[in-house]
A = this chain, B = another copy of it.
Amino acid sequence: MRTTQELLLLAKAASRKGGLYTTEQKNAALYLAADALIEETKPILAANDLDMVQAEGRISQVMLDRLMLNESRIQGMAEGIRQVAALPDPVGRVLSEKTCMEGSAKGLQIKKVTVPMGVISIIYESRPNVTSDAAALAIKAGSACVLRSGKDAWRSAKAIVTAMQKGLEKAGLDPDLIQLVEDVSRQSAVDLMRARGLVDLLIPRGGKGLIQTCVEQSIVPCIETGTGICHVYVDKAADLKKALEIVDNAKTSRPSVCNAEEVLLVHEGVAEAFLPVLKTRLVDDRMVYGKPPVELRLDDAAARIIPGTPAGPEDFDTEFLDYILAVKVVPSVQAAVDHIQEHSTHHSDAIVTEDPAAAATFTAQVDSAAVYLNCSTRFTDGGEFGLGCEMGISTQKLHARGPMGLEELCSYKYIVTGDGQIR
């Protein structure tokens, strides 16, 4: 077994070449890596079978389904790699350019250009497609990547990485650009967090515990991703039909994802009209159609209008990721904003209103990565936002906010050209 330190040194060395490859070279390598995935379908499925056998009974059915690969999923992964190849190259873009006109700097040309981040490390869980997605994005962004897959998916990840490395090699790229951490103990995650000088960017993708650990222990630059306690606020001037569709969609279309709604705030002026209709839609109708009903956790005011579970204070600070919705009645748009500023994870928050003043207050004051007016929070996504792909959704304000695409995986440098100027 190679140590994490050894892999990091290989990645660092390879990363120096990563920024020098042309767009054509990188794209050719990605297409060949996609082909290699298809060609190696058999060994990948064999590795995945072993992962599945080991994981059975140890992880939930939902997690098992995420782990499972088949031919069509491998084709999907290959297609994902090809889509990354088709995106514009984020490296070498000129962000600004100026020629100094006066003083000792006169004649200096100062160019600000995008450059690769260097070594990007991703710590993730057990979805094999994250392996191919993350590697493809890193390669396109001119960086090396050090991937730390969850233990349950390690064999699958290894088979995927091996195939992709063959594609890179065929195209003449250094296969060391993709590294898979071999030590799947917790220690390797800590090693990555402490690898100052070897990891230029660490992206933890996973549960709250992992992200918290990274934030606490990381001494390499790290981006906090994911946790989404997302709110929808239904204003007194809301179109209640739109509100019903938006709340339903934000809560139930995919409750396990970070851009799903967890908390509903309703203006007291429309609570009596809206909440009963909402209860019918989220609870009664769903039961009629055999779908899991949404458990409504109600504050006192809401509980006076519809039946449900009494909400405890922790219900307004919990990412349920489930068919559960906390409901609170508020007296004004400002009260909604204040609640959100206090309890949101600043991922995605929405207002439903036809009142431009309320909309303006909300969008100006709510300090979240994505602020929505009259639409579902579920749109927070790299694809929907036109980034073409996504390495995670940042909930911090430094460097990247919201979906991170290829641009967000790059840095920049200044190139200053002179003719002997001194200061």
A interface residues (Cβ-Cβ under 8 A, vs B): 16, 19-20, 98, 100, 105, 108, 110, 115, 117-118, 196, 200-201, 215-216, 219, 221, 223, 239, 241-242, 245-246, 248-250, 253, 341, 363-365, 367-376, 378-380, 384-386, 396-399, 401-402, 411-423
26 contacts between A and B (CB under 8 A): A19-B364, A19-B365, A105-B384, A108-B384, A110-B385, A117-B398, A118-B367, A221-B396, A239-B420, A241-B420, A245-B422, A363-B415, A370-B414, A373-B415, A373-B416, A374-B417, A374-B419, A375-B419, A375-B420, A375-B422, A376-B421, A376-B422, A378-B423, A380-B414, A399-B399, A401-B414
The answer to whether A374 and B420 have CB atoms under 8 Å apart is yes
Whole-angstrom CA separation of A105 from B246 in the bound complex: 13
Smallest Cβ-Cβ distance to A366: which chain B residue: B413
* Chain B residues within 8 Å of A249, by CB: 422-423
Say whether, besides A378-B423, A421-B379, A371 and B201 are in contact (CB < 8 Å).
no
The answer to whether B397 and A201 have CB atoms under 8 Å apart is yes
* Chain B residues within 8 Å of A371, by CB: 413-416
Smallest Cβ-Cβ distance to A15: which chain B residue: B367
Interface centre among A201, A241, A363 (most CB of B within 10 A): A363
Give min CB distance, A112 to chain B, whole Å. 8
Give min CB distance, A210 to chain B, whole Å. 15
Whole-angstrom CA separation of A219 from B200 in the bound complex: 17
* Chain B residues within 8 Å of A118, by CB: 367, 397
Contact of A401 among B219, B386, B412 (CB under 8 A): B412
Contact of A201 among B242, B386, B398 (CB under 8 A): B398
Whole-angstrom CA separation of A419 from B411 in the bound complex: 36
The answer to whether B367 and A422 have CB atoms under 8 Å apart is no
* Chain B residues within 8 Å of A420, by CB: 239, 241-242, 245-246, 374-375
Smallest Cβ-Cβ distance to A98: which chain B residue: B386
Whole-angstrom CA separation of A115 from B397 in the bound complex: 9
Give min CB distance, A57 to chain B, whole Å. 34
The answer to whether A379 and B246 have CB atoms under 8 Å apart is no
Give min CB distance, A96 to chain B, whole Å. 8
* Chain B residues within 8 Å of A16, by CB: 341, 365, 367
The answer to whether A200 and B397 have CB atoms under 8 Å apart is yes
* Chain B residues within 8 Å of A372, by CB: 416-418
Give min CB distance, A108 to chain B, whole Å. 6
The answer to whether A367 and B413 have CB atoms under 8 Å apart is yes
* Chain B residues within 8 Å of A196, by CB: 215
The answer to whether B422 and A378 have CB atoms under 8 Å apart is yes
The answer to whether A411 and B398 have CB atoms under 8 Å apart is yes
